[in-house]
Amino acid sequence: MQITNQTAVSFHYTLSNDAGEQLDSSIGEAPLVYLHGKGNIIPGLEAALAGKQVGDKFVVTIPPEQAYGVFDATMQQVVSKKMFDDTDIEIGMQFHADVSHGAGIITITEINGDDVTIDGNHPLAGVALTFAVEVVEVRPATADELAHGHVHGEGCHH
């Protein structure tokens, strides 16, 4: 069966950045499972998986525009340390916050006295991502999965 809209897909992957550094991998873990055509994974990877079938292995590089977007300097700002109340903050810490496009995650990128630089970009914004992929299962999605917009696994009680 080929990967088309409304199929439940399981695949293993190894993710690397444009410098060749491995960022993540499902090898030795459970495969990533998603519902094709519902935007559950980055658009470039979903497009690359279309038409593939069980056993297919491939490597694809996804440009930032089809991954986590281009880096947007306007999503960085300097705020007062007082905004974090009494939290002991450090560079790299992440917090949930309202950002320009709705709810998102901000990352502390610099602390200079009482000034704290925060960044609302996704940590992988502006990065071309390379995926080494192996498709391990493709099946028709169930009616419940289609209604909920995601694949249901063991123990899912929607």
Both 11 and 64 in a single domain?
A: yes
Both 102 and 54 in a single domain?
A: no
Q: How far is CA 32 from CA 1, 39, 63, 98, 113, in A?
A: 18, 14, 21, 28, 42
Task: Tell me the pairing of strands 57-62 and 76-80.
Answer: unpaired
In this prediction, residue 157 has a pLDDT band, given cuts at 50, 70 and 90, of: very low
How many residues are given for the chain?
Answer: 158
Mean pLDDT of the chain: 92
Question: Looking at the domain assignment, is residue 1 inside a domain?
Answer: no
Both 114 and 77 in a single domain?
A: yes
Least confident of 51-55, 56-60, 141-145: 141-145
Residue 158 confidence (pLDDT) above 50: no
Both 80 and 108 in a single domain?
A: yes
Both 88 and 51 in a single domain?
A: no
Where in the sequence is the domain holding 35, given as residue range(s)?
7-68+126-148
Both 114 and 39 in a single domain?
A: no
CATH number at residue 18: 3.10.50.40
Question: Looking at the domain assignment, is residue 38 inside a domain?
Answer: yes
Q: Could you tell me which of 128, 19, 113, 125 has the C-alpha nearest to residue 76? A: 125
SS (H, E, C) 25-48: ECCCCCCEEEECCCCCCCHHHHHH
Q: What is the pLDDT of residues 59-112, one digit of tens each?
A: 999 999 999 999 999 999 999 999 888 889 999 999 988 766 667 789 999 999
What number is the average pLDDT over the span 31-40?
95
Q: How far is CA 59 from CA 35, 54, 128, 134, 151, in A?
A: 21, 15, 13, 9, 24
Number of domains in the chain: 2
Asked if 49 and 3 count as a contact pair (C-beta separation under 8 A), the reply is: yes
Residue 91 backbone dihedrals phi, psi, to 5 degrees: -60, 135
Both 80 and 111 in a single domain?
A: yes
Q: What is the pLDDT of residues 118-130, one digit of tens each?
A: 999 998 999 999 9
* Share above pLDDT 70 across residues of the chain, in percent, rounded to a whole number: 94
**114 or 152: whose pLDDT is higher?**
114
